[in-house]
């Protein structure tokens, strides 16, 4: 297996060049054209390896890039009926708006590659592609499905059913989100729910007719204190009120207010309990009505036996390659890999590039990690999973 590591390390320069190409294609979640351009560029790299790719349309967004070893019919969106090999999961979108690259161009300082979206997660795409190239150079790529999504940073509801259908027919799901700084993979993630709480009252003149008004902002403020009180740090439950909007001017009793709330939880049961508690909030003023809706949901990635099996396999591969021991971490960030873990599919997250600064101006990839992570991923695709 060490010949895979040698092959990858000899191609660090090519990996750096490919990363530069990908970062130069700006692909914020809000720009379907940029996401599509990135998908086409990656597909062009996978096609010579024998992976048959398709761009699956998503309403209001860029496409999914789905590429499979084998030769499915062109344009056929049906999922094969027989289980396949692993899904190699990732996302095409970034949090950085078009024009960020002009303000913050790519730069390399020693072993660090700086650029918007490099760490989260174009470096992971480089790792994935070169892992497949390493296997192709060795002989043949085993059955795999590459599945790169367009809206991971904002919510996957527009394609969740397609993604979950492919996950169910995969032997494992390996997500190429960035490694934890220092190289650890992620075997636990919190789930998340994005909710909006709205209050509707009655407008009135704040001076001449105050008593006829029902203040939506005041009622919402009270209920937000109730919502925040659901936070339980010991259990890993956090309820964060992120934005609040309401009112028109100081001399009008406001008839509308809303707040966006982020809920994080370690277990699905805790997430469901927090959601039920928020839905049970009731106003003090009977003239005010409350409503709540959810814009996005990610289940937690819980470290069950299926996740442990995938981690053990990766840890054994790292040892066989002579790499440093592969550590594991738990993190509060959400990921699409959690949908696979919630279905009991062997899942491992954080197989992408080492680095730091996700969603920050300091975002960077450690270039020397690219070949080592590619070799790790290639070895993992050859490794059996043991219960």
- List of domains in the chain: 2-189+300-382 (3.40.630.10), 191-298 (3.30.70.360)
**Better-predicted residue by pLDDT, 189 or 294:** 189
pLDDT of residue 83: 54
Q: Give the pairing type, strands 173-175 and 87-91.
A: parallel
CA-CA-CA-CA torsion for 192, 240, 90, 108, nearest 10 degrees? -160
Distance CA 339, CA 12 (A): 32
Do residues 257 and 214 touch, judged by C-beta distance below 8 A? no
Range of lowest pLDDT (59-63, 67-71, 81-85, 135-139):
81-85
> Does 60 have pLDDT greater than 60?
yes
pLDDT of residue 144: 96
> Which DSSP symbol is given to 72?
P
Q: Decide: helix, strand or coil at residue 220.
A: helix
pLDDT of residue 73: 41
Which helix (H) or strand (E) covers residue 241, if one does?
strand 238-246
- What is the residue-averaged pLDDT of the chain? 94
> Does 101 have pLDDT greater than 90?
yes
pLDDT of residue 333: 83
> Per-residue DSSP letters for 99-143?
THHHHS--EEETTEEE-TTIIIIIHHHHHHHHHHHHHHHHS-PPS
List, for residues 22-43, the tens digit of each pLDDT value: 999 999 999 999 999 999 999 9
pLDDT of residue 76: 45
Q: What is the pTM of this model?
A: 0.88
Structure tokens that stand for 140 in this block: 């043949």
Q: Decide: helix, strand or coil at residue 215.
A: coil
Do residues 114 and 107 touch, judged by C-beta distance below 8 A? yes
List, for residues 315-358, the tens digit of each pLDDT value: 999 999 999 999 999 998 888 999 999 999 999 999 999 999 99
Q: Decide: helix, strand or coil at residue 339.
A: helix
Q: Decide: helix, strand or coil at residue 289.
A: strand
Range of lowest pLDDT (156-160, 261-265, 344-348, 357-361):
156-160
pLDDT of residue 270: 94
Percentage of the chain exceeding pLDDT 90? 89
Q: How much of the chain is in helix, strand and coil states, percent to nearest 5?
A: 35, 25, 40
> Does 72 have pLDDT greater than 80?
no
Distance CA 186, CA 203 (A): 50
Do residues 237 and 231 touch, judged by C-beta distance below 8 A? yes
Distance CA 118, CA 20 (A): 8
């Amino acid at each position: 297996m060490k010949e895979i590591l040698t092959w990858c390390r000899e191609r660090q320069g090519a990996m750096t060049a490919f990363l530069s190409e990908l970062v130069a294609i700006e692909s914020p979640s809000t720009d379907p054209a940029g996401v599509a351009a990135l998908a086409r560029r990656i597909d062009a790299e996978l096609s010579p390896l024998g992976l048959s790719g398709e761009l699956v349309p998503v309403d209001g967004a860029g496409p999914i890039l789905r590429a499979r070893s084998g030769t499915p019919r062109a344009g056929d969106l049906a999922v094969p009926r027989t289980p396949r090999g692993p899904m190699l999961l990732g996302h095409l979108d970034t949090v950085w708006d078009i024009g960020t690259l002009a303000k913050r161009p790519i730069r390399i300082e020693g072993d660090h590659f700086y650029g918007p979206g490099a760490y989260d997660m174009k470096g992971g795409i480089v790792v994935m592609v070169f892992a497949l190239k390493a296997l192709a150079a060795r002989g043949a790529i085993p059955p795999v499905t590459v599945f790169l999504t367009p809206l991971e940073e904002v919510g996957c509801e527009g394609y969740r059913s397609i993604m979950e259908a492919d996950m169910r027919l995969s032997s494992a799901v390996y997500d190429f989100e960035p490694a934890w700084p220092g190289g650890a993979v992620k075997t636990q993630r919190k789930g998340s729910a994005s909710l909006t709480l709205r209050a509707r009252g009655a407008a009135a003149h704040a001076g001449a007719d105050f008593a006829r008004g029902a203040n939506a902002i005041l009622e919402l403020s009270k209920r937000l204190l109730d919502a925040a009180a659901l936070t339980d740090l010991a259990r890993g439950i956090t309820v964060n009120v992120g934005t609040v909007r309401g009112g028109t001017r100081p001399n009008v009793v406001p008839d509308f207010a809303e707040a966006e709330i982020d809920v994080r939880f370690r277990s699905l049961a805790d997430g469901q309990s927090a959601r039920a508690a928020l839905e049970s909030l009731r106003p003090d003023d009977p003239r005010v009505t409350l409503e709540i809706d959810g814009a996005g949901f990610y289940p937690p990635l819980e470290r069950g036996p299926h996740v442990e099996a995938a981690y053990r396999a990766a840890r054994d591969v790292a040892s066989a390659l002579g790499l440093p021991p592969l550590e594991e971490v738990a993190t509060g960030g959400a990921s699409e890999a959690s949908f696979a873990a919630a279905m009991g599919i062997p899942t491992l997250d954080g197989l992408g590039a080492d680095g730091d600064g996700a969603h920050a101006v300091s975002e960077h990839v450690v270039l020397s990690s690219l070949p080592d992570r590619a070799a790790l991923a290639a070895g993992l695709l050859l490794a059996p999973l043991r219960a």
